Amino acid sequence: MNLPKFSSLYGRIFAIFWLTMLLVLIAVIAASQFDPRQLHDVPSGPLQDMKEKGQEITSRYQNSPSLRTALMQIERNNVDRGKLDYYFNDTNGHWLNPPMGMKVRALNNFITQSDKSDLPQQRLYGRLMLAGPIPVVIANRELHMYFTVRWHQPPPFLLQLLDKPFQLLLAVMLTSTPLLLWLAWALSKPAMRLEKAAQKVARGVIELDPELEKGPSEFKQAGASFNQMVMAINNKISEQQRLLSNISHELRSPLTRLRMANALAIRKQGESAELARIDTEAERLELMINELLELSRRQIDAHQIRQHLSIQELWGDTIEDGKFEAEQQKKTLICHQIPNAFMTGNPNLLISAVENVIRNAIRYCERFVWVDFQHNNGGLTIKIEDDGPGVDEEELDAIFRPFYRVSTARDRHSGGAGLGLAITHSVVTQHNGHIKASRSQRGGLEVQITLPVDL
Ligand SMILES: Nc1ncnc2c1ncn2[C@@H]1O[C@H](COP(=O)(O)OP(=O)(O)OP(=O)(O)O)[C@@H](O)[C@H]1O
Ligand SMILES: [Mg+2]
């Protein structure tokens, strides 16, 4: 097992628990050290007073003829009687002025304990502080003098705590809270950073985040692995798109040769229905390949370009172009207003996504196309409707598939490759949005795109 390092999470958790325990332990030990209910040496100030009192008594009464009268005089002369009392014990352990009640037991207990030390001791019994012994001589007898003082001082704060388990618990919790909070913060901050980064990737923003490689070593490693993964994903996507681009490029040459051979055949054998068919199909294939090539070119590394975009700037021109194109065909595109909102994404891809749907609508509509932008809490909704023939219920999902074209005669000659909606679908999902086609209440097709906006 390796020793925990503080830079690692493992080390930090260990250190914080250890430190908390240590603090609590120190507090408990310190509290018992200052506990007046434990036997302690008498502090120098009171000790001096006690010694002076002992000397005074010795000098006044050492030659007294009677021990009893001397003791009575001492008691009578004590102005603080009741608060501060003196008790005398001979060397055999007998009290010469026996104390009353509780005091006897306390004093006897104190004598047995304090005997072990050479210096005068003190200890608190309930509300009574006992101190002593001070050697004195009264009536030519060597005696031990003890002091009892009524004690009114409240015990120190820490001791009060120790006596009340609930408050002790509260104090321990309060002192350990900052440490534990720091621990929780140290634990959760990098975890949250990692979670945010993962969410970003889920949203399609496949970017490296150097921030991830900071913090406790375990998270540093996780962050580094995460970044490596992001890099690998980026490379994989670019690689695939390059492959697609290369394939479509390579497909074009045999196709051109095919068309040339077909043209030669027509010249040699004259026009025929079969050769004409080969030519139209080859032309269509070429169109598809060209579109595919264009698409893959546009998408290479496009997933790495992300910008903060104004929705108005993004699609303003698309709408204007759409209106113009519709007018050329004696049709009308109606779009009232684009809301003022922002989103993050790839501008070129987003523009062509909406453009594809609008151009379909213009192509298939009878007279009108309606484009409606709505911005609400859920994000941005773009609704594109037309009054054309629409698409059959069972084909509504299929039109988003690449190269899918509705199987009516009308579309055979409409010229498209069937990639437009597939591109739109891919762009919308790349931006964490949704796309759905349904029958419009205005007769034709309704395509609804929802995209998340920046808050
Ligand atoms: N507004 C619409 N009204 C009726 N049919 C539509 C409409 N939009 C799309 N379609 C049908 O969905 C099919 C797929 O559309 P998509 O845009 O993917 O391809 P395309 O327009 O044929 O070709 P491309 O867009 O690649 O030039 C179209 O061929 C058409 O049959
Ligand atoms: Mg289209």
Highest mean pLDDT among 232-246, 290-304, 358-372: 358-372
Closest residue CA from atom 7 of ligand 1: 360
pLDDT at 180 over 50: yes
Chain region(s) in the chain for CATH 1.10.287.130 = 206-304
Determine the average pLDDT of the residues in 1-17: 75
356 lines ligand 1 (CB under 6 A): yes
The CA distance from 434 to 381, in Å, is: 9
Residue with tokens 């987003």: 350
Residues in a beta bridge with 370 = 334, 385
DSSP-assigned letters across all residues of 49-85: HHHHHHHHHHHHHTT-S-HHHHHHHHHHH-TTTTTEE
| Nearest of 438, 444, 400 to residue 419 by alpha carbon | 400
Closest residue CA from atom 4 of ligand 1: 390
pLDDT (0 to 100) of residue 4: 63
CB-based contact 107:167 (threshold 8 Å)? no
pLDDT at 202 over 90: no
283 lines ligand 1 (CB under 6 A): no
360 lines ligand 1 (CB under 6 A): yes
Which of 360, 413, 447 has the most ligand 1 atoms within 8 A of CB, as the residue to mutate?
360
Structure tokens at 428: 């919308």
Determine the average pLDDT of the residues in 201-223: 83
Closest residue CA from atom 19 of ligand 1: 418
pLDDT (0 to 100) of residue 363: 93
Structure tokens at 376: 């609400």
- 206-304 fold: Helix Hairpins (1.10.287)
Structure tokens at 47: 């000790």
Q: Which ligand is nearest to the CA of 294?
A: 1
Residue 87 Cα to ligand 1 midpoint, Å, equals 114
358 lines ligand 1 (CB under 6 A): no
Residue with tokens 């609804």: 448
Residue with tokens 């194109």: 325
Atom of ligand 1 nearest to the CA of 386: 1
Angle, to 10 degrees, between the axis of helix 273-299 and the axis of helix 217-269? 160
The CA distance from 289 to 247, in Å, is: 9
Determine the average pLDDT of the residues in 394-406: 87
The CA distance from 373 to 339, in Å, is: 7
CB-based contact 312:338 (threshold 8 Å)? yes
Chain region(s) in the chain for CATH 3.30.450.210 = 36-154
State the pLDDT confidence band at 409, using cuts at 50, 70 and 90.
Answer: very low
Angle, to 10 degrees, between the axis of helix 67-77 and the axis of helix 44-61? 130
Cis bond leading into 133, ω under 30°?
Answer: yes
pLDDT (0 to 100) of residue 224: 92
Catalytic residues: 249
- 36-154 fold: Beta-Lactamase (3.30.450)
Residue 362 Cα to ligand 2 midpoint, Å, equals 10
Closest residue CA from atom 29 of ligand 1: 405
Q: Strand, coil or helix: what is 431?
A: coil
Share of the chain above pLDDT 90, in %: 32
Determine the average pLDDT of the residues in 393-404: 89
435 lines ligand 1 (CB under 6 A): no
| Nearest of 61, 58, 65, 149 to residue 103 by alpha carbon | 149
pLDDT at 412 over 80: no
Q: Which ligand is nearest to the CA of 437?
A: 1
Q: Given phi > 0 = left and psi -120 to 50 = alpha, else beta, which region is 188?
A: alpha
pLDDT (0 to 100) of residue 367: 94
Tell which CATH classification among 3.40.50.300, 3.40.710.10, 3.30.565.10, 3.40.50.720 matches the domain 305-451.
Answer: 3.30.565.10
Residue 169 Cα to ligand 2 midpoint, Å, equals 72
pLDDT in tens, 257-277: 999 999 999 999 988 999 999
364 lines ligand 1 (CB under 6 A): yes
Amino acid identity, position 185: W
The CA distance from 387 to 369, in Å, is: 7
Average pLDDT of the chain is 86
pLDDT at 411 over 60: no
Mean pLDDT check: name the lowest of 144-158, 258-272, 369-383.
Answer: 144-158
Residue 216 Cα to ligand 2 midpoint, Å, equals 52
State the pLDDT confidence band at 226, using cuts at 50, 70 and 90.
Answer: very high
Structure tokens at 455: 């808050």
Q: Which ligand is nearest to the CA of 402?
A: 1
Atom of ligand 1 nearest to the CA of 420: 25
pLDDT (0 to 100) of residue 368: 95
| Nearest of 54, 60, 140, 141 to residue 94 by alpha carbon | 141
pLDDT at 95 over 60: yes
Q: Given phi > 0 = left and psi -120 to 50 = alpha, else beta, which region is 405?
A: beta
Determine the average pLDDT of the residues in 132-142: 87
First-to-final CA distance of the chain? 48
Length of the chain, in residues: 455
418 lines ligand 1 (CB under 6 A): yes
